[in-house]
Structure 1
């Protein structure tokens, strides 16, 4: 079975472009990894298609996911975002974006970068699974459980093992492109 049979990637042109140009391709850079983590947070309970359609608005609302700027955002700024119809207006998720930026700053102080912290979980190399069908792609793994537990311990929010597995896939730490 080829990647073009991966049902979620074929649902819309936006999903196909995301799959072909980003998903599963190793991502680096703290701000890029923070953006993707934030998008995964917004996606919880919703569709990835909705998040992708609102991606540009989220980038504008959160200073292009510049960690140091987002970490300083105030509750008044979150209040203002709650009136923005171009983003997903879930206060807990918006507040988690600020909380996660602050958690990333602590990780940066300890590990040098968020990038280093994440990629250390896979010894700097993507895990290539090459499943034969979408049914073989798990919702979570021991790795996502480990990363999730560690991130929660460090103060991150909305980082359950299912969300983290999706994040690891999207950031290319785990490559689940079909064989």
Structure 2
């Protein structure tokens, strides 16, 4: 189903959606229920940041289809459990066909868990650490076409620098901006998308 000149896809259910959702049911469900919804749970934010890091060089649908495999392999993305992973765990994960077997990203996930715990311990926590960059409120994008959607911003560059200084890896400005879009720190649904207004309302409710 082709998208129109703005980048909206008009599905048979009558709901216009952002172009990237395509027709894959997994992708459409993700677009309609998760992407752009403000997320404030620290552990969930950690999981999404790690998965976005694994996406580097790949398509998001590749990661999305393996998400349950990642959750099994990484102890449900429990940072306390992952922080205790050893070299033996790294070797185990390198043999796990349910995930993307990239040694640097696996090692980075463990380092990220330890960084997460350090941020949590000193307070006020990982969620606040991230959301303070947008003063606790989602940035409301109002792009009417895909050309108006940024791939990185000054805020994503600042968050990237902060995360790297804490010990996270695979968190460049483009990855961080994609993460911000996904967890609702910025509402980048196209203005004509049926999810733009609901996500905006959720952001205004805090």
**Bigger helix share:** 1
Equivalent of 2:41, from 29, 44, 63?
A: 29
Matches of 2:71 and 2:77 in 1, distance apart? 6
Higher Rg:
2
Superposition RMSD in Å? 1.2
Corresponding residue number in structure 1 for 2:151: 139
Matches of 2:122 and 2:163 in 1, distance apart? 13
> Shift of the alpha carbon at 1:86?
1.2
**Alpha-carbon deviations, 1:108-148, whole Å to 9, x = none?**
12332111111111111100112111111111000100100
Corresponding residue number in structure 2 for 1:92: 104
Matches of 1:30 and 1:76 in 2, distance apart? 27
Matches of 1:66 and 1:18 in 2, distance apart? 22
Q: SS where residue 121 of structure 1 aligns?
A: helix
Question: Is 2:57 the counterpart of 1:64?
Answer: no
Corresponding residue number in structure 2 for 1:148: 160
Structure 1 moving runs of 4+ over 6 Å: none
- How many residue pairs were aligned? 179
Matches of 1:58 and 1:113 in 2, distance apart? 24
> Shift of the alpha carbon at 1:5?
4.5
Structure 2: gaps spanning 5 or more residues: 1-5, 10-15, 192-206
Question: Is 2:114 the counterpart of 1:102?
Answer: yes
Question: Is 2:128 the counterpart of 1:116?
Answer: yes
Matches of 1:82 and 1:154 in 2, distance apart? 25
1:145–1:75: structure 2 CA closer, same or farther, 3 Å change rule?
Answer: same
> Shift of the alpha carbon at 1:11?
4.2
Structure 1: gaps spanning 5 or more residues: none
Matches of 1:80 and 1:108 in 2, distance apart? 28
TM-score by length of 1: 0.96
TM-score by length of 2: 0.84
Query: Which has the larger displacement, 48-57 or 3-12?
Result: 3-12
Corresponding residue number in structure 2 for 1:167: 179
Matches of 2:86 and 2:46 in 1, distance apart? 18
